[in-house]
Amino acid sequence: MKSLKDAGSNSNTSEGIDLKTFPKPDYSHIIDNDLISDPIWIKFDDIFIDDDEGNPARTDGQSISHIEELKYSFANGVQTSSPLGAVMERPLQPDGTKHEKPFMLMYGYGRSLAQMELGVEGWAFNTIDATETEWEDIQSYENEDVAPKSPNKERDIVQVKTKQINEGRLAKTENAVMSNLKKTYPSRRKPSLDRIAAMIFENVGIQSKYAYYSESKIGLWRDNHASQWFGFNGEWDTYRNQYGYTSVKGGVYRTWNNALIKYAETGKKSYVNCFANTVSKGSTLIDQRQSIVREYIKLRINHAIVYGKNIKFLTLNGFFPQQQKVDNWKSFIELNQDDIELQVKQGINAARLRIRQAA
């Protein structure tokens, strides 16, 4: 690790730091990596920096607390394994002359502002040759990392993609949006991509084949469509005399734990209504609904085996309507509780038999 003062001198080698030691970013899922230069040292006076407008992947610019965190980090030394910020070369002015500041900072605002406040003359950057859309995707994807950085917010991604659709640079279709999100953010978890897609669809008026739910959408469906009031987020339902929850595929275990706590504290039972993640060829709506039922039954069986008693403190009530022009938009798709209880009973008996045989 080298001191910031030494590394910030105008040199590529001996007096400062060997720039080749910094990693070159990989955006091959967005552009050809040959369009990304090796690191070059640039004076901050030669870089146009606009934190308010320069990075569309950040809706709120850089926070003061984050800059202070970076200043502390840099003051302790420079990690040459950390990625650099990036700039683009500004096109010539209308009169054919160069800009006074020939480079524009495209990402690395927090790092650059922290270094400037620490009195560094310049720093190393990668220059990238990309279109406006490619730059937006690069900026947004780059914000996914944390080192130490403020992690990308879902609403930041929604803003970028909404802008691209409104300007005609991203097709206004469900398939195009989902394909682009998966390509641009390959490491982001699927539930997050689902929430982002749903917000984009709502922003630009894309009519999806399937409805996807966020907390606000659940409330809107209850207010605008549901024939009967229901609880979510642990609300008390006076009609059913139970606490109400909602869950997405893969999240029933969290609701199970919340319902268990409520039952232990109050003696009152709970119910949960569920919905699917993004529907695709390899993960159909039927597949996901069946997976939710299996998850619930597995929890019931495991709890009964561990504690020796089959206590039903959480009911898997049904599913939110999601398939447009097929599901009834005024009610839940309720489940056959007798069939679920039979599967639970059979599963418990089978598990107990396996335990006896293994003893």
Separate counts of helices (H) and strands (E) for the chain: 11, 10
Domain stop point among 150, 174, 193: 150
Residues 273 and 326 occupy one common structural domain = yes
The predicted structure's pLDDT at residue 189: 80
Residues 223 and 347 occupy one common structural domain = yes
The predicted structure's pLDDT at residue 15: 43
Of 100-109, 185-194, 222-231, give the lowest mean pLDDT range. Answer: 185-194
Query: What is the C-alpha separation between 162 and 169, in angstroms, rounded?
Result: 10
Q: Are strands 40-43 and 122-127 parallel, antiparallel or unpaired?
A: antiparallel
For the full predicted model, state whether its pTM sits above 0.75.
no
Structure tokens that stand for 34 in this block: 């040959």
Q: How confident is the model at residue 238 (pLDDT cuts 50, 70, 90)?
A: very high
Alpha helices in the chain (DSSP H): 4-7, 64-75, 109-117, 132-142, 154-166, 174-184, 190-204, 215-224, 252-266, 285-307, 337-358
CB 62 within 8 A of CB 49: no
Taking residues 132-158, report their average pLDDT.
76
Residues 130 and 166 occupy one common structural domain = no
CB 239 within 8 A of CB 228: yes
pLDDT at 13 over 50: no
Residues 232 and 258 occupy one common structural domain = yes
CB 302 within 8 A of CB 238: no
For the segment 258-311, what is each residue's pLDDT rounded down to a tens digit? 999 999 999 999 999 999 987 877 889 999 999 999 999 999 999 999 999 999
Q: Give the structural domain span for 134.
A: 4-150
Query: What is the C-alpha separation between 258 and 265, in angstroms, rounded?
Result: 11
Q: How confident is the model at residue 60 (pLDDT cuts 50, 70, 90)?
A: very low
pLDDT at 22 over 50: yes
Residues 85 and 24 occupy one common structural domain = yes
Taking residues 144-148, report their average pLDDT.
49
Structure tokens that stand for 127 in this block: 């220059």
Query: What is the C-alpha separation between 340 and 293, in angstroms, rounded?
Result: 8
Query: Which amino acid, 330?
Result: K
Closest CA to 274 of 247, 296, 292: 247
Residues 104 and 198 occupy one common structural domain = no
The predicted structure's pLDDT at residue 77: 67
Considering only residues 346 and 111, tell me which one the structure prediction assigns the higher pLDDT: 346
Longest CA span, the chain: 88
- The residues, any chain, with a CB within 8 Å of residue 209's CB and separated by 6 or more, are 174, 279, 323, 324
For 30, the 3-state DSSP assignment is: coil
Edge-to-edge strand list for the sheet holding 47-48: 40-43, 122-127, 85-89, 103-107, 47-48
Domain stop point among 180, 208, 236: 208
pLDDT at 171 over 80: yes
For 211, the 3-state DSSP assignment is: coil
Domain stop point among 150, 166, 187: 150
Tracing tokens 């641009």 back to the chain, one arrives at: 184
Instruction: Give how many domains the chain has, as a whole number.
Output: 3
For 152, the 3-state DSSP assignment is: coil
pLDDT at 203 over 70: yes
The predicted structure's pLDDT at residue 11: 45
Residues 44 and 172 occupy one common structural domain = no
Considering only residues 276 and 76, tell me which one the structure prediction assigns the higher pLDDT: 276
Residues 54 and 170 occupy one common structural domain = no
Residues 72 and 186 occupy one common structural domain = no
Closest CA to 109 of 142, 76, 78: 142
Residues 127 and 159 occupy one common structural domain = no
Taking residues 71-97, report their average pLDDT.
82
Residues 59 and 168 occupy one common structural domain = no
Tracing tokens 């679920």 back to the chain, one arrives at: 340
DSSP 123-139: EEEEEB---HHHHHHHH
Taking residues 325-344, report their average pLDDT.
96
Residues 141 and 180 occupy one common structural domain = no
Cα 208 versus chain centre, distance: 20
- The residues, any chain, with a CB within 8 Å of residue 132's CB and separated by 6 or more, are 169
